Structure 1
């Protein structure tokens, strides 16, 4: 699992969902049908089901049991997670991955779907709300974390820019002339840009630090004044016309400005480390039977 979420609970839940879905689908299909063959010898869905149950059944059922306990404990305390809260977390993941396209590819790479991910994020947020009241984060802990991770709280110089990418210099010059004549940058990006990931947003790239883009692009974007539009810039991708919309200066790490982020990070770490103790204590209050358990 490669999600940039600093929490192995969420990772475990995601993997469990995928495994559980596989077991469930296999069980509900007609077992007599073959799923494969080798030299004419069939491999049946019955064999596949048995293999999945033997390998993953016990752990998957344990995960489902834990999910139901979480849901029950949340209901007791009237804890809910709104769809808008889940959407906010999903948008954070998209930003961490560098945009919609990279995020969608991550879903494919991890053999999951947006719907499944939303369910897993919601479940994790329930866990966090249940455990967080039992967690204390001290000022000393936050200062220690800041000192140990100071570089990550410094901000490099950033540029906010848009671009129009085309394949040849002739087209690029024609578009630049249209811009010089007063035509709208976003409209031309939607019409001409070959960058499918940005064209529908008018070529917007958002903020990026130096070194994020290829050298030729970077050099122009960071030297161009705010509000200005470049002449065509050649890179390995084609010809870019760059519009600089804003700039943010570099900032040194600042503890006071970073306290909220640090506290949230430490809470996530403590939720992660204390989850197993918490869920084990809650299991004692439930009548649980797992016939697939290794101890059964």
Structure 2
């Protein structure tokens, strides 16, 4: 449902820019056909004719959510949105801003578009969260049904140096074998922007958080052994495992707060689209397009 709510609000984020350009650069040419010009004015007239209702509907939706957030005293700041983006980069893109920006480019989104979508999503989430309660019995039942999700997973504390070619990887490996400092070499050679300045350290990670080739090598290595270069889609990794954490089952008392938070988050996500739909139905909207 979360994705549905965001999709409903997505395209409007470029609409304001579209109309601003329309006003200020009406005679600019967007294409020529056998020497005959198609102007931006003609282009945007066609855009309004074909998509105007959709764009207007989405602009209305944006205003509805923003107005309700103000009414409820909900304030999502730019810093909040930036923090959420950083969380996405760390969790989904191995801490790499470069990989994150590549994914944005491939999706056709800009970072500004993403920020505005996240702003809407975060406001809706806070609205629903304020109304969401769970009982002690619900929390205990949720733990019983999802116990494996709260176990301490098998993880490794690992660091790596990522380079583009096997030749460079072996050059770095040789320096390490001759007593070179891993942290210093990571800062000098690694092209992983998320870890290079931290000496290549990823911290404790599970298999599902790593690209397959990296995970296979890291989880097979003993502590302290620097692996032969491992190739992945990102390049060549020189890997060192610093510590190993074995899988461990936990008791409810150990993770009670985490379970409660997980249950609340699940309920919130289930109700996001319903919240948006209710706001839309209760709003007084007049259109003149």
SS at match of 1:127: helix
Match of 1:232 in 2: 228
Aligned partner of 1:112 among 104, 109, 113: 109
Match of 1:279 in 2: 280
Q: Describe the shift of the 1:250–1:55 C-alpha distance in structure 2 as closer, same or farther (beyond 3 A).
A: farther
Match of 1:58 in 2: 53
Q: Describe the shift of the 1:103–1:149 C-alpha distance in structure 2 as closer, same or farther (beyond 3 A).
A: farther
* Structure 1 position 9, deviation (Å): 1.9
User: Is the CA contact 2:13–2:116 (under 8 Å) kept in the aligned structure 1?
Assistant: no
How far apart in 2 are the matches of 1:95 and 1:40?
Answer: 49
* Structure 1 position 185, deviation (Å): 1.5
How far apart in 1 are the matches of 2:45 and 2:145?
Answer: 49
Match of 2:218 in 1: 221
User: Is the CA contact 2:27–2:41 (under 8 Å) kept in the aligned structure 1?
Assistant: yes
* Structure 1 position 291, deviation (Å): 1.2
Match of 1:28 in 2: 23
Alignment of 1:63-212 (within 5 A): 63-98=58-93, 99=95, 100-137=97-134, 156-166=153-163, 167-168=166-167, 170-178=170-178, 180=179, 183-193=180-190, 195=192, 198-210=195-207, 212=210
Aligned partner of 2:6 among 5, 10, 35: 10
How far apart in 1 are the matches of 2:126 and 2:162?
Answer: 45
* Structure 1 position 155, deviation (Å): 6.1
Q: Describe the shift of the 1:158–1:123 C-alpha distance in structure 2 as closer, same or farther (beyond 3 A).
A: same
Q: Describe the shift of the 1:132–1:232 C-alpha distance in structure 2 as closer, same or farther (beyond 3 A).
A: closer
Larger mean CA deviation between 126-135 and 28-37 belongs to: 126-135
Aligned partner of 1:241 among 225, 238, 243: 238
SS at match of 1:7: helix
- CA displacement 1:59-108 (0-9 Å, x = unmatched): 22232233223333333333212333223322232234223233212221
**TM-score normalised to the size of structure 2?**
0.77
- CA displacement 1:113-171 (0-9 Å, x = unmatched): 32332233223222233343344556676677767767666664222211124532751
How far apart in 1 are the matches of 2:69 and 2:237?
Answer: 52
How far apart in 1 are the matches of 2:235 and 2:130?
Answer: 54
User: Is the CA contact 1:162–1:202 (under 8 Å) kept in the aligned structure 2?
Assistant: yes
How far apart in 1 are the matches of 2:41 and 2:236?
Answer: 56
User: Is the CA contact 2:217–2:230 (under 8 Å) kept in the aligned structure 1?
Assistant: no
In structure 1, the gaps of 5 or more residues are none
How far apart in 1 are the matches of 2:197 and 2:127?
Answer: 41
**TM-score normalised to the size of structure 1?**
0.76
Match of 1:266 in 2: 267
Larger mean CA deviation between 161-170 and 184-193 belongs to: 161-170
